[in-house]
Amino acid sequence: MEQFSPMLPALTDEELDPRAAAVFADIRATRQTDFVNNFWRVLANDPANLERTWAELKEVMAAGTSLDPLVKELIYVAVSTVNNCTYCVRSHTAAARGKGATDEQLAELHAVVAAANKTNRLAIGLQVPVDEAFA
């Protein structure tokens, strides 16, 4: 499907500066795939931001922490949905499926997101005061 062009070009491997190339090598090694998606190719125009952002995602989304990687990916999809980021909803739903998310889990995730959005707006619109128990 034809799309608009990004605000900075999606760089090919040949166009990367050495810092960006090093990040791409780590993305490929970490994910064990040659595929590097457009997010990183556009961000590669700013190697410092690319380094920071990849290092952050690699650390935050890693296995071996108190939250399961699939749970973290589902939270990522939830946030991307509320922020209405098409690219992020699509890429992180794909990532969640790659980590084993089932259709049922994704449907359930969106039922929770929907309910939360509903009650969030009711609490705000009706200006519900915080109970002492939650203060």
* Smallest separation (angstroms) from a second copy to the CB of 85: 4
For 5, half-sphere exposure in the C-beta direction (CA atoms, 13 angstrom radius) is: 5
* Smallest separation (angstroms) from a second copy to the CB of 62: 10
Number of residues that bind a second copy (CB under 8 A): 86
134 binds a second copy (CB under 8 A): yes
Number of residues in the chain: 135
Contact indicator for 27, 54 with CB cutoff of 8 Å: yes
* Smallest separation (angstroms) from a second copy to the CB of 95: 9
Rounded-to-integer distance, Cα 4 and Cα 98, Å: 27
| Span between the terminal Cα atoms of the chain, in Å | 50
Binding mask 36-55 for a second copy (x = CB under 8 A): -xxx--xx-xx-xx--xx-x
* Smallest separation (angstroms) from a second copy to the CB of 93: 5
Exposure string for 66-85, b = 16+ CB within 10 A, e = fewer: eeebbebbbebbbebbeeee
Could you tell me where the DSSP H helices lie in 10-102? 18-31, 38-43, 47-60, 69-82, 86-98
Interacting residues with a second copy between 55 and 94 (CB under 8 A) = 55-57, 59-61, 65-67, 71-72, 74-94
Q: Which stretch binds a second copy (CB under 8 A): 14-22, 23-31, 117-125?
A: 117-125
16 binds a second copy (CB under 8 A): no
30 binds a second copy (CB under 8 A): no
